[in-house]
C-alpha cells in the first residue's frame, strides 16, 4: 500500500506528475520544432533578400549605364548636330528605347524594394511570435523544473520511508519465523530429553531408540530451516537497503513433519 495514493499538493490524482513531465516533453518538442521552422524561414528570407539585392545592384548598374549612354547621346547630338542631322530620327528612336529601358529598370527596382520590405515585415512578425513563444515556454519550463526538483526530493524521502517499511516487514517476518522454529526446536528437545530419560531402562532402550533417532533428525532439519530463514531474510533485507524492488515476500519453508 506504499505510494499508491495521490501525493498532495502536487497531485490531485495518481499520475499527475508523470503527465506534467510528458506535457513538458511535448512543449520542448514544439519549441524545438518552432526554432527549426524559424531557422528555415530566416535562411530562405536571407537567400531571397540576397538575390533581390543582387538584382537591384544589377538594375542600378544597368540604369547608370543607360543614363550615361543617354547623356553621351545628348552631348554627341549637340556637338555634331549638323553631321547627325540625317540620323536624327534613328537617334530619337534609340533615345526612346533607352528611356523605356531605364523606366523598366526603375519599375523593377521599385518592385524589388517593395518585395524586400514585405519580406522584412514577415520576418519581423515571425521573429516576434518566436520570441513570445520562447519566453512563454522558458517561463513554463522554469516552473516545471522547480516543481520536478521539489517532487524528486519528496520522492526520495518517500523511497527512504518505503525502504524502512519494507525492512521492518521483513524483519518482523524473520523474527516471527525464527520464534516459531525455535519454539518447535525447544518442544522437540524436551521430547528428546524425556525419551532419553525413559530409555535409561534396559528394557525400554531398544524400543525407544528409533524414536530418539527420529526426533534427533527432526531437530536437525528444523535447525537447517532456521539457518535458511535467517540467511534468506538477511539477504532480502540487504537487497531492499541497496534499492532492489519486489523483494518483500516470505521465505518458503519445507514442512518438516513431526516424528
What does the block give as the cell for 52? 533581390
Q: Return d(Cα 4, Cα 234) in angstroms, integer.
A: 27
C-alpha cell of residue 150 = 521539489
Q: Digits of tens for pLDDT over the chain (259 positions)?
A: 456 666 667 667 777 778 888 999 999 999 999 999 999 999 998 999 999 999 999 989 998 888 888 888 888 877 887 777 778 888 888 888 888 888 888 898 888 999 999 989 999 999 999 999 989 889 988 989 999 988 888 888 888 888 889 889 988 998 998 998 899 989 989 988 888 888 776 566 667 788 888 888 999 999 999 998 889 889 888 888 887 777 778 877 777 787 8
- List, as one string, the DSSP characters of 238-249: HHHHTT-SS---
Let me know: does 55 contact 108? Beta carbons within 8 Å: yes
For the chain, give every domain's residue range.
Answer: 159-242
pTM above 0.75, yes or no: no
Place of cell 521492518: 168
DSSP class per residue in 119-132: HHHHHHHHHHHHHH
Q: How far is CA 252 from CA 165, 199, 229, 249, 255, in A?
A: 21, 36, 9, 9, 9
Give CA separation, 38 vs 11, 35, 117, 189, 206, in Å.
36, 5, 18, 86, 101
Amino acid at each position: 500500500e506504499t505510494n499508491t495514493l495521490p501525493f498532495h499538493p502536487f497531485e490531485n490524482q495518481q499520475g499527475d506528475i508523470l503527465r506534467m513531465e510528458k506535457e513538458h516533453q511535448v512543449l520542448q518538442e514544439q519549441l524545438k520544432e518552432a526554432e527549426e521552422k524559424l531557422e528555415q524561414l530566416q535562411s530562405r528570407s536571407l537567400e531571397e533578400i540576397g538575390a533581390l539585392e543582387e538584382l537591384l545592384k544589377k538594375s542600378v548598374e544597368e540604369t547608370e549605364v543607360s543614363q550615361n549612354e543617354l547623356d553621351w547621346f545628348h552631348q554627341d547630338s549637340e556637338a555634331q548636330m549638323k553631321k547627325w542631322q540625317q540620323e536624327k530620327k534613328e537617334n530619337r528612336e534609340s533615345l526612346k528605347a533607352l528611356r523605356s529601358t531605364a523606366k523598366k529598370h526603375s519599375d523593377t527596382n521599385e518592385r524589388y524594394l517593395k518585395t524586400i520590405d514585405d519580406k522584412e515585415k514577415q520576418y519581423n512578425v515571425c521573429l516576434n511570435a518566436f520570441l513570445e513563444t520562447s519566453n512563454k515556454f522558458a517561463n513554463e519550463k522554469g516552473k516545471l523544473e522547480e516543481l520536478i526538483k521539489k517532487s524528486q526530493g519528496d520522492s526520495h524521502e518517500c523511497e527512504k520511508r518505503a525502504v524502512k517499511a519494507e525492512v521492518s516487514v521483513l524483519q518482523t517476518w524473520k523474527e516471527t519465523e525464527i520464534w516459531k522454529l525455535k519454539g518447535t526446536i525447544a518442544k522437540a528437545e524436551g521430547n528428546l530429553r524425556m525419551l532419553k530419560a525413559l530409555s535409561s531402562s534396559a528394557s525400554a532402550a531398544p524400543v525407544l531408540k528409533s524414536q530418539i533417532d527420529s526426533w534427533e533428525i527432526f531437530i536437525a532439519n528444523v535447525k537447517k530451516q532456521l539457518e535458511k530463514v535467517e540467511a534468506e531474510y538477511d539477504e532480502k533485507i540487504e537487497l531492499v537497503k541497496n534499492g532492489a524492488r519486489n523483494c518483500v515476500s516470505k521465505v518458503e519453508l519445507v514442512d518438516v513433519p513431526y516424528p
